[in-house]
């Protein structure tokens, strides 16, 4: 009889621990939700993800939900987003987007995850011109139409809160972003007046060159149709990049120079040689 009571007592003492362990195992993971005007935006396959303390969202479902047309160019791995007179273009792996010719820096580059183009949620505020807020309690990114009285600075602060979901705690509105999240300083690392970009075609070959002057201790990357090329800089600051490709169709280029937290981005068109 005593043995039965002992077995029953042991079973009761272990029951709460077993229940707690089961609850810990079956607890659902945190899911980031996105809504526009208090209506949820559905993602058919790839969901928003948190990477390096930044929330990345699939751009097509969100842009189309906001009334934009989205086109994907597989050849140069770029996305063009259009609505009325507004056109935004971004290239995978680049930390910039272009809106009607204006350059917009991104805190992290666009990237492909499960065949979906993912962009930082801050891109929605800065490139698409919407208000973005983050609700910690519900793990929700809320998108709303920008009201006239809201300044760009207020919108940027709200977007910065939304990008802090990786820590689970949004940054207070009264405090500036952490130093590591500050955008790069725009500097004059490249002499824009010295740049010469030329393109010629002969016997089915495209021959192009880009030359100019830059700070010798800076790093230089030339982007042509979504492909990045590192450009060496000579000790005197001069640089020359040459490329020969078969039947290459290209008109524009992007030149990005960096040095520490300094950054300069230049865009231009090739001069066609007859």
Domain boundaries, the chain: 33-181, 185-272
Three-state SS at 208: strand
Superfamily of domain 33-181: Copper amine oxidase-like, N-terminal domain (3.30.457.10)
Position 238 confidence tier, pLDDT thresholds 50, 70, 90: very high
Position 130 pLDDT exceeds 50: yes
- Please compute Rg for the chain using Cα positions: 25
Q: pLDDT tens digits for 191-222? A: 989 999 999 988 888 889 999 999 988 888 88
Contact present, 34 and 57 (Cβ < 8 Å):
yes
- Plot region of 89 (φ>0 → left; ψ -120 to 50 → alpha; else → beta): beta
pLDDT tens per residue, range 64-76: 989 999 998 887 7
The pLDDT of residue 152: 52
Distance CA 13, CA 33 (A): 40
Domain 185-272 in this protein, CATH class: mainly beta
Tell me what the pLDDT averaged over the chain comes to: 76
């Amino acid at each position: 009889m005593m043995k039965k009571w002992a077995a029953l007592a042991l079973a009761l003492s272990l029951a709460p621990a077993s229940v707690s362990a089961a609850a810990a195992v079956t607890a659902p993971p945190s899911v980031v939700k996105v809504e526009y005007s208090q209506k949820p935006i559905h993602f058919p396959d790839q969901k928003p993800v948190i990477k390096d303390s930044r929330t990345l969202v699939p751009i097509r479902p969100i842009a189309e939900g906001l009334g934009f047309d989205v086109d994907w160019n597989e050849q140069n791995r770029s996305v063009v987003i259009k609505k009325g007179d507004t056109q935004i273009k971004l290239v995978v792996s680049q930390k910039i987007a272009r809106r009607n010719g204006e350059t917009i820096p991104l805190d992290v580059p666009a990237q492909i995850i499960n065949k979906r183009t993912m962009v930082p949620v801050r891109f929605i505020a800065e490139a698409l011109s919407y208000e973005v807020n983050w609700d910690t309690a519900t793990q929700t990114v809320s998108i709303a139409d920008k009201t006239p009285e809201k300044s760009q600075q207020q919108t940027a602060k709200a977007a910065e809160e939304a990008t802090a979901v990786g820590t689970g705690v949004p940054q207070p509105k009264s405090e500036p972003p952490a130093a590591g999240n500050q955008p790069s300083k725009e500097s004059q690392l490249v002499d824009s007046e010295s740049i010469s970009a030329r393109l010629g075609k002969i016997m089915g070959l495209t021959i192009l060159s880009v030359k100019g002057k830059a700070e010798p201790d800076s790093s230089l990357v030339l982007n042509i149709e979504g492909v990045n090329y590192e450009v060496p800089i000579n000790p005197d600051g001069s640089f020359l990049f040459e490329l020969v490709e078969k039947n290459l169709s290209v008109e524009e280029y992007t030149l990005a120079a960096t040095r520490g937290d300094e950054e300069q981005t230049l865009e231009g068109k090739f001069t066609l040689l007859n």
